[in-house]
């Protein structure tokens, strides 16, 4: 299938048309409900061998809905044998945060969703030779029909740069995710250990959502890291109503030859029957 026809992925169609072809307990319903506490849910019919995916119809952002559907499909494909009587009920933190409290299952469902919606090979074609910008990742968000936040997290996975994504509100980080090279050079924020304050002097703390902040502000040592300069890109994330920041650090030669393993395309895994 040509790329222009393949994207965005119709997750509802995948769930309803493909799962009956290789499972005897398929997904038979995908629909919106008023889920006050959740972004989405995977529910098992107590009387029949079938499942349903529900998403919060109060969410207005199509990209958030699409990622939520893919996340719940990931739970179905990977975890339904371990699901309790209530199946899976997932909030916003579970569907986007690298710091989910249900770490393994939620991480795996997020990886599945990102791989299904933003396949590695195509995502690299869109981004690997391009300079970072929110416009670039906005293009990716539109192409794959995901939120800008999801596109940023996918970029962090693949970038050859030392980069960190930070999601914050009211002066504190909700979560942060470092690229491989940033992490191996010791540049990360341990948000799983507890709240971390956004540093004084940063665009994120000042909530400066100017064009300058969007395009990148250069900070000297002592703002984000005491001994290193950083270029900070900060915007207001309308999809989640939080502050989204990407920090770019200068390259360090010894981290430029890290081995990377190619990621298998989820579509190929579907073709193999998972």
CATH number of residue 182's parent domain? 3.30.450
Whether 274 is in a domain gets the answer no
Whether 266 is covered by a domain: the verdict is: no
Whether residue 123 is found in the same domain as residue 170: no
Task: Answer whether residue 261 is part of any domain.
Answer: no
Q: 96 and 142, same structural domain?
A: yes
Pick the closest to residue 245 from 177, 154, 196 (CA basis).
Answer: 177
What is the number of structural domains in the chain? Answer: 2
Q: In the prediction, which pLDDT does 101 show?
A: 46
Examine residue 54 and say whether the peptide bond preceding it is cis (omega within 30 degrees of 0): no
Same-domain pairing of 154 and 166 = no
pLDDT at 125 over 80: yes
Domain final position from 159, 187, 205: 159
Domain that holds residue 181: 161-255
Specify whether 144 is located in the same domain as 184: no
pTM of the model: 0.87
Instruction: Characterize the bridge pairing of strands 217-219 and 51-56.
Output: unpaired
Q: Looking at residue 272, what is its pLDDT?
A: 46
Q: What share of the chain is helix, strand, coil (3-state, %, to 5)?
A: 40, 20, 35
38 within domain boundaries = yes
Model confidence pLDDT, tens digit, residues 2-30: 556 789 999 999 999 999 999 999 999 99
- Report the run of H or E that residue 34 belongs to, with start and end: none
- For residue 10, being part of any structural domain is answered with yes
Does residue 263 sit within a domain?
no
The verdict on 73 and 165 lying in the same domain is no
Look at residue 231 and tell me whether its pLDDT is greater than 60: yes
């Amino acid at each position: 299938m040509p790329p222009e026809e393949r994207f965005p992925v119709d997750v509802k169609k995948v769930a309803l048309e493909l799962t009956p072809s290789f499972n005897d307990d398929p997904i038979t319903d995908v629909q919106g409900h008023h889920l006050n506490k959740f972004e989405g849910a995977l529910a098992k019919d107590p009387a029949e061998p079938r499942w349903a995916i529900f998403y919060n119809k109060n969410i207005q952002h199509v990209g958030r809905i699409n990622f939520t559907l893919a996340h719940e499909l990931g739970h179905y494909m990977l975890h339904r044998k371990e699901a309790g009587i209530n199946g899976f009920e997932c909030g916003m933190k579970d569907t986007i945060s690298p710091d989910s409290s249900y770490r393994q299952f939620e991480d795996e469902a997020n990886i599945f969703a990102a791989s299904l919606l933003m396949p590695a090979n195509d995502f690299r074609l869109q981004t690997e030779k391009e300079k970072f910008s929110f416009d670039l990742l906005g293009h990716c968000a539109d192409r794959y029909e995901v939120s800008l936040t999801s596109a940023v997290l996918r970029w962090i996975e693949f970038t050859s740069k030392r980069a960190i994504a930070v999601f914050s509100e009211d002066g504190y980080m909700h979560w942060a995710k470092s690229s491989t090279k940033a992490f191996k050079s010791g540049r990360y924020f341990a948000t799983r250990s507890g709240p971390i304050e956004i540093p004084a002097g940063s665009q994120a703390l000042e909530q400066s959502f100017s064009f300058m902040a969007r395009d990148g502000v250069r900070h000297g040592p002592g703002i984000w890291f005491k001994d290193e300069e950083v270029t900070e890109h900060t915007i207001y994330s309308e999809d989640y109503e939080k502050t989204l920041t990407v920090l770019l650090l200068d390259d360090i030669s010894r981290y430029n030859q890290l081995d990377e393993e190619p990621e298998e395309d989820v579509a190929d895994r579907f073709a193999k029957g998972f």
